[in-house]
A and B are shown apart, each in its own frame.
Chain A
Amino acid sequence: EAAVTQSPRNKVAVTGGKVTLSCNQTNNHNNMYWYRQDTGHGLRLIHYSYGAGSTEKGDIPDGYKASRPSQENFSLILELATPSQTSVYFCASGDAGGAHAEQFFGPGTRLTVL
């Protein structure tokens, strides 16, 4: 079974602080994704990656950076956190090459920026 884990599960940060959200997958999937979920907006793609060393901008990348140091790990970095970044963040992984590959989601990280 696909396994995507996220840490921390909950985070409270201060405005202007740096926040790093981590994601690990044990499926050996090439593709990984970061989404944020807000009421009324569904899932919005922030950054994604096709493999170690690659990061791509999604639909709402402003204020976020991503890092993919290895096949298994994908981080989302908020250099200067703002209250508008308060949200639930989901990481997902998926198989490349499969045209209709399923995405497997982690349990989410609830971030509150005060």
Chain B
Amino acid sequence: QQQVRQSPQSLTVWEGETAILNCSYEDSTFNYFPWYQQFPGEGPALLISIRSVSDKKEDGRFTIFFNKREKKLSLHITDSQPGDSATYFCAASESNNRIFFGDGTQLVVKP
């Protein structure tokens, strides 16, 4: 059973628009939710994360919205730039440092 699910699989937006990437999880014991960003030919790198005690985390143009009751979260990228084009992985973990990754959303931002 897949622990973390992401949608859509791919997303195309125009420069300046807001991209919304969705994520849901199965295990209610998960309490930490990082998002990783991966550019072609590189390894993933941590972009932003949220703990389950919060319902929102903002870092510049990137915002995570978290709904614990529904076991859902989303990543909003405002004023999207072509340089944001990448694959975004939603992930979840509890306290043992084991991270479960979703299958990723491939984002393309058109100029």
A54 to chain B, nearest CB (A): 13
Residues of B near A100 (CB, < 8 A) are: 31-32, 34, 49, 51, 93, 95
| Chain B contact residues, CB within 8 Å of chain A | 6, 9, 31-32, 34, 41-46, 49, 51, 89, 93-95, 97-99, 101-104
| Chain A contact residues, CB within 8 Å of chain B | 4, 31, 35, 40-45, 48, 90, 92, 94-96, 98-108
Most buried by A among B31, B42, B102: B42
Q: A42, B101: Cβ atoms under 8 Å?
A: yes
Known contacts A41-B103, A99-B32, A100-B49; decide if A108 and B42 are in contact (CB<8 Å).
Answer: yes
Q: A42, B97: Cβ atoms under 8 Å?
A: no
A8 to chain B, nearest CB (A): 15
* New A-B contacts (5) at CB < 8 Å, excluding given A40-B103, A107-B43: A31-B97, A96-B97, A99-B95, A102-B34, A105-B43
